[in-house]
Structures are given as C-alpha cells and as structure tokens.
Structure 1
Amino acid sequence: MKRILHWVVKALTAFDWPLLMLLVLMTILGMTVMHSAVGGTDWRFADQSRNFLIAFIFMWVAAMMPPPLLMRLSPYVYAMGVALLLGVEFFGETSKGATRWLDLGFVRIQPSEMLKISVPMMLAWYFHRHQGTLRVLDFLVAGVLLAIPFTLIVMQPDLGTALLVFASGFCVIYFGGLSFRLLAPIALAVVVGLGTLVYYETDICQPDVDWVVLHDYQKYRVCTLLDPSSDPLGKGFHTIQSMIAVGSGGLYGKGYMMGTQTHLDFIPERTTDFIFAVYAEEFGLYGGVMLLVLYAVLIARGLAIAARAHTQFGRLLAGSMSMMFFVYVFVNVGMVTGILPVVGVPLPFMSYGGTALLTLGVACGILMSISRYRPVRT
C-alpha cells in the first residue's frame, strides 16, 4: 500500500501545475474549435480526443524521466532518428509526391517528427559536455549535427518540418553562446535576399525560371504569397480564402458554429493547417488576440522553467522547447494571414493530427521534467 501511495505521489508531483493548467485550457479550446470545424462530433472529433489522450500519456511519461536520464539518452535518440531518416531516403513510402513515411512492418511512422525533439536534445547534450571550453570549432560541429537531419528532411521534401527542426536546433546553438556578431552577416543576407525576391518577383516567378534549391511547388508557394491573385482558383486559393475568413470575423467574430467561410467549405484544410482561419472567423480579433496571449503565457512559462533550470542541459533544452512553440504559432498564423508562404505547419493544440500532438506532448513533458528536477547534493 505504501509503495502504491508513493508511486501516486510521485506521479502527481511530476507535473508542473501552472503549465498543466494552461495545457488543459488550450485542450478545451482546441476541441471546441475542432467541433465547429468538423461541424459536429464525427470521426475526426473522436480521433482528436483520442490524440489528446495519447499525447497526455506521453507527456506524463516524459515528465517522469529526470533530465540526467534524458541527457544520457540524447546521443542514442539522435542517432536513431538520423538512421530512420536514412531509411526513409532509401526505403520510404511516397504519398502525394513526398517520401516521408517508413513502414516498419507493425507500424507506419514519420521519423522527421521525432527530430524536432531529438535534435535539440543532442545539441543541448553537446553544449553541456563542452560548457566552459567552447570554441568556434564546437559551434561548427553543432552546425553539422543540425545540418544532417535538416538536409535529409528537406530532401523528402518536407520544408515545414525541416524549418521547425532547424529552428529548434538553432535556438540551442544561440542560447549555447553563439555570438550575435556571427549572426549579423546572415541576417543581412536574408534581408537582401528577401528584398531582391520582392523587387524581381515578376521576372523570377515565370514558369520557365528554375529556382534550383527549391522544388516547383515550393517556388509557386512563395510566388503565390507575393501575389495571391495571380492564381486565385489554384495555388492562391488557400491564402485568399483564409484571409477572407480572418477578415470577415471583424472585432467580435460571427459566433460559434456561425462561420460562413468554414461551413460552406471555402476554407481548405480547415481542421489542420488553416484552423486558425476557422477560429478567427468565429471569434474575431478579440478572440484571436486572446489565443495569442495564451500562447505567449505558455512560452513565457517555458522560458521561466529554462531560467530556473539547474543544469546547462536543462536550460538549453527548455529554452529550445519554448521557442519551438513560438515558431509553430508564428509560422502557422503567418501563413493563414498571408504574410508567410504555406508550408504545412500545424497550430499547437488546435490543428487535427496525432503526430504533431504527440511531439508537443513530449516537449511539454520535458519542460515539466526540467521544472521539477532538483539535483542531489553530496
């Protein structure tokens, strides 16, 4: 009996309660919007309920694992992730023009999702091992560790997931001590590149112009962002309809289950990538701001956990997990409102999908593990 009671107490203390309360609130909000997006309680609503339950279980398991154990597992998890990506490259299954899945016989998985967690774990482990003795070479090695999975995911092609993996890994490198002076030339090159893209948009978006580094569909997504009206019934349809939905919500929204763009099937992928358009149409500007405030509080809680972490590994990993949430929200809301190209990034705890929810659940569990960890003093 004492052993069972001890286990229950340990399970309950594994949670970071402020973070858990935020997640419960966002789960309720997410399921409410999903109910409206699907128009009732069909199989997608039931599946999403199941996905939340599975994500909660994985979050709880991750929260029970102390950071020293996570740190020891990091190189092995990273190596397994890269090996699975190589398996996708040679033996992967293709669907809708992309080779992203690997059939292991008993289950079909998308290995790129686990790299969102394993890459920052590996880099946090690396910088923890070299803290106090960091050299330029160490940052180059970290860059290679990040570039390997990023390149393999881009080759699938899956630019959205690749950007998320890159962002989560880059945050670890930056928090690890990367000098801002080294970032300035990169930032300047990005600004110049974007300016050139906008200035020469008419010329470089011609069908016979090959962008070399991007696939044709990725090129058209960027060109559609610059001028959605160039193909309003084709490649620009997603962006135009989502912007109409967001704008038609006004200040207060049209009301729950009253979104015309949503329920007349004008919003494509309304349960996944474009669910923010459903939310904004029905809850308006005030509702959208409230949702962004909730995300901001969630990110702030994660950064507070990172600031109070007792190890370099914990600080870097918690900071990366927190910023991963920021990138998710920024990219998704940006593409729905027409300021970023459509790259297939879900909105955390709102979009339908089990794999993304599982990844987010593990990330939250890691934050809870770091929050409750107290090193044993000898």
Structure 2
Amino acid sequence: MTASALTRPGERDRLSVKFSEIDWRFAGLLFAIAGAGSMMLYSVAGGSWEPWAANHLIRFSLCFALMIALGLVDLRVWMASAYPVYAIGLVLLICVELFGYTAMGATRWLNLGFTRIQPSEIMKIGIVLALARFYHGASAKDASFSFKLLIPAAMIGAPVLLVAHQPDLGTAMLIALTGAAVMFMAGLSWKIIFTGVAGLAAAVPPFVMFVMHDYQRKRILTFLDPESDPSGSGYHIMQSTISIGSGGPLGKGYILGSQSQLEFLPEKQTDFIFAALAEEFGFVGCFSLLLLYAAVILIALRIASLSHSHFGRLSAAGVTATFALYVLINGAMVMGMAPVVGVPMPLLSYGGTVMLTVMIGFGLVMSTRVHRYLELPSGRGFFF
C-alpha cells in the first residue's frame, strides 16, 4: 500500500485498507512467543493442558483479536484518549489507597464485586499515552532542558509513589523506567540524564534502608548473597539458577526438567517459567526465544520510526520500551542478576492481566503502523 493510497480522502478510513496494513510478521512473532509459553505451561503442569496451558492459549487468542481491533482505531482517537486514560488510572490508584482490596500482604486491587481490577496495569499504558501526548505539543527546547520538564516528571512520579506504596516495587520500577525512556527518546538533555542517574545512585542506599518494607529489603540483601538464607528468601534465586545451569547447551528434554517437575522451582508457571525453559531446552532454547523477543522489539521500534507524527513515534516506542523492560528484568531476575520483584516474562508467563496490558500496548503499536502517514494536530488542549 502506497503512501498516496493511505492519505487520499476516503481511502485511509476504509477498514479493508487499514486491515491490509496490519504487520502480520509482527503478529506471527507474538503468536510464536505465546505458543512457546503454552508449550512450557503444558510441560510444567506435568504434560497437561490444565490448569494453565489451555487458558493461556484462549486468553492470547482473545487478546490477539483485541490487538487487531485496536490497531484499526484511528491514531487521533488514541491521542484524544491519552490524558483521560492517565487521569482515570491515577484516580483508580488513589482509590486503591483509600479502599483497596488486600491480598498476600499487598493492597493492589479494587474489588468491584463481580471482578477485581489492578489500576497499576492501566497506568502502564496511561503513562506512555500521556507523555507522548505532552511531548507531541512540546518544542525541542522544552523537551531537552526546561522548567516545563517538571510536568512530565510529576506525571511519572505520582503513579510511581502510589504503586510503590501498595507495595508493588516491580510495577513501580516499570512505570518509572518507561517514563524515563519516553523522556529520553523525546530529546532529554544529557546533563539532566547524568544528574538524574547520579542522584538515583545516591538515593538507593537510604531508600533501601529506611523506605523499603522489611521483606523488600530482605530480597535485596538476599540477592547479593542468596546462600545466606537458602531455605527462605534466597530459595527462589538458588532454585532458578540451578534450573538454568542444569540445562546446559541443549537441555534435559521436553517435560524432563527435574526442578519444575519435582516442584523445586517456585512460581514455575509465572515469574520463573524462563528458568523452566532453560532447564528443558538449554542455552539453544533460551537464545532462540530471546531472538524472538529481539525481533518483536526491533520491528516495533521500526514501526515507531516510520510514523509521521511525534505522538505516534513516542507512544509506539514507549510501549516497546515497557515490553523490553519486562524481558530484561525477568531475565536478569531468574538468572540471579537482579532481585526478585515479581515481573513476569511477557506472553511466556501465565497471567491474563499482564498479557492484556501488553497486547493493548501492541494494539497502539499496530495503530501507529496502520496510520503512519497521518499528521496529527499539535494543540495543547485536554483532547487536542
């Protein structure tokens, strides 16, 4: 499809034309990762579709259809909804503080009676949309070095503090790093970047010692020396590294991973499914999966770079940054290179909430591709 066909009046709004612009290579890569996830969930369940593998495939199929539908939504609609989505997410996070549902020692959900929602997941999309909307109407000077940068800093800081207080350190870290990535891609001055990194490094020790909850602090200290508590807080890291190391170059074979089959590996269907894959398929299996993730990230960044609108570029790149951070943090976590913070491997781990968030984000990426030639207004109003 040529640029002229997509920009002619009456052509760009036809669903058939939009549908033809869907990037099916990108979609196929997502299918491959989700398929690998279902295969591993079948394995860690002892060769059974229940309770995880079948649900994983069903959820992905529904989320995939949603992604395609969202990809056909006009990019102007995404832009108009940016600030409202962020505002709704922030209000819901405040509601969690006031009357949230508590489970497993954390208050992260709102109980609606018929279901529970986790507003921090909404904020993962909301922060990308809102920052992309802000920078779409900002000048290069404002994006680089200006007192107006206090606005996006506050937009990031408010949800990060609320989510960290729940406590949910993993999600708070994702929101903060995603926001920082969008600011960097928008043209943030290197002076501010270096100052921020130095300030963050200086703040880490007092934050760990005086702000973190006891169990969070214990996770950090155990990460540095997991053998100090091998049957307690160090158990997860030790069993995960044992699983990865025992896989060797080619692995033990499908459904033959002793750590997962004998229930030594904790959270084998969620946070540590990558370790189960490493045990069964070894270095080759892990490397192959990481290649799929790398291909998704590179194609998504390519889509972002081709957008004619600043909002499209930043929103697609911001979603891609979130996805890449999921992969990076989970990979480092299961290899013992980062503390255990409860960040799953996207589309591979079992869990409907994260999958839904990721696929909604990729719906935005797909919309950016379909409407890549669309020019957007640069107004600074709430909607446009």
TM-score, normalised via structure 1 length: 0.91
CA distance in 1 between counterparts of 2:18 and 2:64 reads 13
2:86 to 53, 61, 78: 78
Taking the aligned partners of 1:11 and 1:53, their CA distance within structure 2 comes to: 21
Q: 2: distance between equivalents of 1:323 and 1:359?
A: 13
Q: For each residue in 1:137-190, what CA deviation from the matched residue of structure 2 results, as whole angstroms up to 9, or x when unmatched? A: 221110001111111101100011111111221111111111112111333355
Comparing 160-169 with 344-353, which one deviates more in the overlay?
Answer: 160-169
CA contact (8 A) 1:14 1:60 kept: no
Stretch deviating more after TM superposition (128-137 or 31-40) = 128-137
Show the counterpart of 1:200. none
Structure 2 counterparts to residues 199-214 of structure 1, below 5 A:
211-214=209-212
1:101 matched to 2:101? The reply is no
Q: Displacement, 1:47? A: 1.9
Match of 1:303 in 2: 301
For 2:104 and 2:154, the matched residues in 1 are separated by: 30
Indicate how the Cα distance of structure 1 residues 287 and 66 shifts in structure 2: closer, same or farther if over 3 A, else same.
same
Query: 1:360 maps to which residue?
Result: 358
Task: Say yes or no: does 1:162 pair with 2:172.
Answer: yes
Within 1, Cα distance between the matches of 2:14 and 2:260? 46
Distance (Å, rounded) in 2 between the aligned partners of 1:372 and 1:324:
21
- Give 1:48's aligned residue: 56
Which residue does 1:123 correspond to in 2? 131
| Identity in percent | 40
Q: How far is 1:292 from its partner?
A: 1.1
Say if 1:254 and 1:282, in contact at 8 Å, map to a contact too.
yes
Partner deviation per Cα, 1:231-287 (whole Å, 9 max, x = no partner):
100110000000000000000100111101110000000000000010000010111
- Structure 2 CA distance for aligned equivalents of residues 43 and 277 of structure 1: 19
CA contact (8 A) 1:272 1:353 kept: yes
Pairing 1:237–2:245 present: no
Contact 1:14–1:63 (CA under 8 A) maintained in structure 2: no
Structure 2 counterpart of 1:16, from 23, 45, 48: 23
- Distance, in Å, in 2 between the alignment partners of 1:342 and 1:319 is 26
Could you tell me which of 146, 164, 172 is aligned with 2:156? 146
Q: Is the 8 A contact 1:14 1:369 kept in 2?
A: no
Among 322, 325, 338, the residue aligned to 1:324:
322
Contact 2:35–2:57 (CA under 8 A) maintained in structure 1: no
Aligned to 2:3: none
Residue 41 of structure 2, aligned match among 15, 34, 38: 34
For 2:237, give the aligned amino acid.
T
Partner of 2:146: 136
Structure 1 residues without counterparts, runs of 5 or longer: 1-5, 198-203
2: CA distance, partners of 1:66 / 1:313: 13
Structure 2: runs of 5+ lacking an equivalent: 1-12, 377-384
Whole-angstrom CA distance in 1 between matches of 2:87 and 2:186: 21
Kindly report structure 1 stretches of 4+ aligned residues shifted beyond 3 Å: 188-194
Q: Give the Cα–Cα distance (whole angstroms) in 2 for the partners of residues 53 and 353 of structure 1.
A: 14
CA distance in structure 2 between the aligned counterparts of 1:210 and 1:7, rounded to whole angstroms: 54
CA contact (8 A) 2:70 2:367 kept: yes
